[in-house]
């Protein structure tokens, strides 16, 4: 199977994960097809025909149902700032963008026209959140992932149970308690070899300067270190690849 076929099979499995009353599942909704976007709104891949990807870039949740239905009705793509920022981040750190899968920790929509930004009660629902941690574990295994990059505070908190006490912010009862300083955890490797690292959310890149990353110089250095720790090769000409493919390519699957 190609990596795109594996991702589509994972999307089908969302039927096993019922959404809360204030959320909407993607299970019954079509894919957005005009351009790269985060799974499960889109397939989350630049090159679905590949046999594998090494890296998951993990956002929080996509937005609300009304907004997604509006996106589905478009005939011309409007850039998603999170996708654009995440792609720039990967390019700066020398990743091959075709080797990355953009996904979400909570792969659901916020119901109807509810507020799209900031904290949502779904993140405080322990049972609901644990189900999607289970879903992420399945995803990591199915795609044979080597590196997980969390984007921002909620995603870093979401990953805490993967490490227990080694991921100290997991002691916080809610992601709303997480600050930029909590992200400053050295990349950690699980026994199965998967490496986890925290990045600043692309919509708050000014917060990069607030991080304590003296050992790595800056966040770009941290991500490069995490990639090499995971045994992933540096991409050659990553900047040129990204600028060409992310801005011009229409995906079909």
Q: Would you write out the chain's pLDDT as a tens digit for each of its 253 residues? A: 999 999 999 999 999 998 899 999 999 899 999 999 999 999 999 999 999 999 999 999 999 999 999 999 999 998 888 999 999 999 999 999 999 999 999 999 998 887 777 788 888 898 999 999 999 999 999 999 999 999 988 998 998 888 766 666 777 778 888 877 777 777 877 767 899 998 988 877 666 766 777 778 888 898 999 999 999 999 876 544 444 444 434 444 4
Residue 253 included in any domain: no
Q: Each residue of 109-150: pLDDT tens digit?
A: 998 887 777 788 888 898 999 999 999 999 999 999 999 999
> Could you tell me the residue range of the domain that residue 202 belongs to?
3-248
> Where does residue 56 fall: left (phi above 0), alpha (psi -120 to 50 degrees), or beta otherwise?
beta
CB neighbours (10 Å) of residue 235? 19
159 within domain boundaries: yes
pLDDT score for 71:
92
Asked if residue 233 belongs to a domain, the reply is yes
- 187 within some domain: yes
pLDDT score recorded for residue 249: 42
Give dist(CA 209, CA 58) in Å, integer. Answer: 21
d(CA 172, CA 95): 31
Looking up residue 106, the CATH number of its domain turns out to be 3.40.470.10
Q: What is the pTM of this model?
A: 0.88
Q: How many domains, the chain? A: 1
User: Would you state the structure tokens that stand for residue 47, as one six-digit string?
Assistant: 């090159």
pLDDT in tens, 157-172: 998 888 766 666 777 7
- Say if 48 falls within a structural domain: yes
pLDDT number for residue 160: 84
Centre a 10 Å sphere on the Cβ of residue 16 and count the other Cβ atoms it contains.
Answer: 11
Q: Please give the DSSP secondary-structure letter assigned to residue 54.
A: -
Question: Would 71 be classed as within a structural domain?
Answer: yes
Q: For residue 8, what pLDDT is reported?
A: 97
């Amino acid at each position: 199977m190609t990596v795109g076929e594996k991702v589509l099979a994972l999307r089908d499995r969302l039927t096993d994960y019922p959404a809360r009353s204030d959320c909407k599942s993607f299970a019954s909704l079509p894919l957005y097809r005009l351009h790269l976007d985060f799974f499960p709104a889109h397939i989350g891949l630049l090159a679905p025909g590949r046999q594998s990807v090494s890296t998951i870039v993990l956002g929080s949740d996509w937005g609300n149902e009304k907004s997604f239905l509006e996106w589905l009705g478009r005939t011309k793509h409007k850039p998603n700032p999170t996708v654009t920022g995440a792609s720039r981040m990967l390019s700066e750190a020398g990743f091959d963008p075709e080797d990355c899968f953009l996904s979400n920790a909570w792969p659901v929509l916020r119901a109807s026209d509810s507020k799209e930004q900031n904290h949502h009660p779904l993140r405080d629902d322990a049972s609901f959140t644990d189900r999607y941690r289970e879903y992420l574990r399945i995803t990591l295994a199915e795609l044979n992932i080597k590196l997980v990059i969390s984007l921002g505070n909620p995603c870093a908190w979401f990953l805490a149970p993967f490490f227990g006490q080694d991921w100290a912010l997991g002691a916080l009862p809610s992601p709303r308690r997480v600050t930029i300083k909590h992200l400053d955890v050295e990349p950690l490797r699980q026994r199965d070899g998967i490496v986890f690292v925290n990045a600043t959310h692309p919509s708050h890149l000014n917060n990069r300067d607030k991080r304590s990353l003296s050992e790595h110089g800056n966040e770009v250095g941290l991500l490069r270190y995490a990639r090499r720790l995971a045994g992933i090769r540096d991409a050659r000409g990553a900047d040129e690849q990204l600028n060409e493919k992310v801005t011009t390519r229409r995906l079909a699957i």
